[in-house]
Chain A
Amino acid sequence: MSAELRRVGAIVWKDLTAERRTKANFNAVVFLAGLILLLFGFAIGPDGQTMELIAGGVLWLTVLFSGVLSFNRSYEQELENGALEMLLLYPGDRRSIFVGKLLANLLFVLLVEVVMVPLAAVLYDLPLWQHIGPLSLVLFLGTTGFVTLGTFYAAMASRLRAREVMLPLLLFPMLVPLLVGAVQATGGILNGDLMGSTASWLRLLVVFDVIFFVAALFAFEHVIED
């Protein structure tokens, strides 16, 4: 077990180091997220009240549209110079590769959110600081499910010619329950939870995360095989 954990740790460290040394991707994704937030504002505004009401939806679509760009890259760097083959040759359970990549992607997207969410709070006038605790929980649960499926589908999509279109095509329809749950929970926290349903939406997110983490973990072996 501890050997597997060390392998997971090594993959996380490797991926994050590669990211930290280039930073190109992180900066690009953060700027893109900011751009999407602005564009949504132009599309929906300038009525402040409307913008506040739908801020949860805007926030999550921005997470999805900008985050999706990070998953293929996570494998693309392995495809050059046959790095993936080397990675697969190492002894040990291949599921640790999946968990490692998942954690690295999770940290990456969460870091993007650390910049993006305060920016959204400024642009859309959201009471971020009053609700920082529950909001962080929703962001964490929603992002975990998103990154789990993103990491899984990118293992296939990144090795196809049509990777830019295949990943969203496979990933986004699967994320509908997560999007609904995360947006409802975020809205409940920001606008006041009139129906007392935020806890149920959080439970939905937990169920989604657990089911697809387990399913993707077992399915990953069949995807990475060759």
Chain B
Amino acid sequence: MSKASNMPEMPGPPRWLAPAGWAGLVAFIAAQVTGFLISPPDRAMGNLQKIMYVHVPSAWVAMLGFFIVFVASLLYLWRRDLKHDRLAAATAEVSVLFTGLTLALGSIWGRPTWGIWWTWDPRLTSTAIMLLIYVGYLALRSFTEEEERRARWSATVGILGFLNVPIVYFSVKWWRTLHQVQTVDVTGAIGSSYAISLLINSVAFMIVFAWLVGMRTHVAGLERHREAWLEEQALTRSEAHV
């Protein structure tokens, strides 16, 4: 008996996934074309300002992702359906990726602008703390073997972590204002002619984000199916020996 014939049929990816992937690709290319070719360079910062077109949407989708982790975690604890857990885990992974990207892009922008790679700006600092909180979330998942326990534990970590987002942000903000350090408000510097590029990029990032999360959730589902199948195989094999 060949292995392939034994393998149960794997569920296919959700129908929206492939179109979303293509739409994301097209939107992303369109966004970069408008950003680089059509949108004019900033009067003060020149082409450097264009990092904002990718930096800001990246931060937005990462934040949105942490909110989704929060909601999916609550849903899991309420309904105890592992599909919510897979969604939370997939979103956390993708959000950590985008948070890292946000920090890297911010640093690349900050170096020529402020002359430093890092500043203790509230937004920047709370983003770094968020990254660490969700890296902890992912580490906990990788160290917890039993599936149902992993889902419950990480759900609580996802919920408490998100509750901390505003507290971290405001505490760092007050901490900074206390020491009277100038923070540069980036969002205010973007005029209406730049808003279009930012908007197209935001849409593109949103689609790419949704596609990545959908893909990761789907793969997590496949992994689960495969594990279940392998366990079954091992069981039948041991029975055959007896």
Contacts and interface: CB of A to CB of B under 8 A. Distances in A.
A161 B139 CA distance: 12
B175 interface: yes
Contact of B175 (A184, A211, A215): A184
Contacts of A169: 135-136, 139
B152 interface: yes
Nearest to A200: B174
A71 interface: no
A162 interface: yes
Interface centre among B149, B170, B171 (most CB of A within 10 A): B171
Interface string B144-186: 1000010011011101110110011011101100100000000
Contact of A208 (B140, B167, B175): B167
A176 B168 contact: yes
B155 A177 contact: no
Chain A contact residues (Cβ within 8 angstroms of B): what range? 20 to 34
A172 B136 CA distance: 10
Contacts, number: 80
Interface residues of B, number: 29
Contact of A170 (B129, B140, B155): B140
Contact of B178 (A156, A172, A195, A216): A195
A219 B76 CA distance: 12
Contacts of B170: 177
Given A162-B143, A211-B163, A176 B153 contact: no
B144 A211 contact: no
Given A173-B129, A177-B167, A180-B172, A222 B140 contact: no
A207 B139 contact: no
Given A184-B175, A200-B174, A174 B144 contact: no
A226 interface: yes
Given A169-B139, A173-B129, A223 B167 contact: no
Contacts of A174: 133, 160-161, 164
User: Which label, helix, strand, loop or mixed, suits the secondary structure of the B interface?
Assistant: helix
B173 to A, nearest CB: 10
Interface in A143-161: 149, 152-153, 156, 160-161
B215 interface: no
Given A174-B161, A226-B149, A184 B178 contact: yes
Interface in A170-207: 170, 172-174, 176-177, 180-181, 184, 195, 197, 200, 204, 207
Contacts of A211: 163, 167
Given A176-B172, A207-B167, A212-B163, A156 B136 contact: no
Contact of A215 (B160, B168, B174): B160
User: Which label, helix, strand, loop or mixed, suits the secondary structure of the A interface?
Assistant: helix
B108 interface: no
B159 A215 contact: yes
Contact of A166 (B133, B143, B155, B174): B143
B77 interface: yes
B175 A166 contact: no
Interface of A: 149, 152-153, 156, 160-162, 166, 169-170, 172-174, 176-177, 180-181, 184, 195, 197, 200, 204, 207-208, 211-212, 215-216, 219, 222-223, 225-226
Given A160-B144, A174-B164, 17 more contacts: A149-B160, A152-B160, A156-B156, A160-B143, A162-B143, A166-B139, A170-B139, A176-B171, A180-B172, A184-B178, A195-B178, A204-B171, A212-B160, A215-B160, A215-B163, A222-B155, A226-B149
30 contacts: A149-B160, A152-B160, A156-B156, A156-B157, A160-B144, A161-B143, A166-B136, A166-B140, A169-B135, A172-B132, A173-B136, A174-B161, A176-B168, A176-B171, A177-B170, A177-B172, A180-B171, A180-B172, A200-B174, A204-B171, A207-B167, A208-B167, A212-B163, A215-B159, A215-B163, A222-B77, A222-B153, A222-B156, A225-B152, A226-B149
